[in-house]
Chain A
């Protein structure tokens, strides 16, 4: 069964450094998402992306964050000048359509640790 893949599984970065988290969505999916889960807390929406542009972003997704689909398969989340509070599990998800009933399929996540 096709799945969303995320790399790396664990990223350790010094505070202030830039980090890029990578995702390969399911191939026939058109809508892409990033979510964040701080340890022990709920999963929070960051951003949705469709047709090569951001369609919605949360208040968490400030100027420090950016997303890109650099080619036909990858979807990336860049965090500039990381902060300690950026430490979390970051999940990429994709869905075939943007319709509400279409389930979003998640990757295994990237655990980001900021030192």
Chain B
């Protein structure tokens, strides 16, 4: 079975600070994908990024970057120079092949509040 753990329940920062959201996952499969989704106060789920298990290269996309480390089963997400509009719940999610038709397994989410 797969599992996603987001240990940080809530994070509060001041605008322009950098913030890192932690995600630790468990899976027995060697082939899987990891995702980050954002849920703003309006409630919708917005896809942000994905990473496959064979590519540990870390990337930066605008103010977003992610750090994928298979050795520690972590997939952390960083927002640089945070803005008030970044305030949302952020979910880490996992898809693996293990017989499943690729259902997403979500973590419990981290509520990020960016204060002006």
Interface residues of A (CB under 8 A from B): 31, 33, 35, 41-45, 48, 50, 55-56, 58, 89, 91, 93, 95, 98-109, 111
Contacts and interface: CB of A to CB of B under 8 A. Distances in A.
Contact of B101 (A42, A43, A56, A103): A56
Contacts of A100: 31-33, 52, 95-97, 102
Chain A at the B interface: mostly helix, strand, loop or mixed?
Answer: strand
Contacts of A56: 100-101, 103
Contacts of B33: 100-101
11 contacts: A42-B109, A43-B91, A44-B106, A45-B103, A45-B105, A95-B102, A98-B101, A98-B102, A102-B102, A105-B47, A106-B46
Nearest to A106: B45
A50 B101 contact: yes
B42 interface: yes
A30 B51 CA distance: 22
A35 B95 CA distance: 14
A42 to B, nearest CB: 4
Size bin of chain B's contact surface:
20 to 34
Contacts of B45: 43, 91, 93, 106, 109
Given A100-B95, A108-B43, A108-B44, A43 B35 contact: no
B53 to A, nearest CB: 9
B103 A103 contact: no
A106 B104 CA distance: 12
Nearest to A105: B47
Contacts of B35: 103
Contact of B52 (A44, A101, A111): A101
A89 B100 CA distance: 23
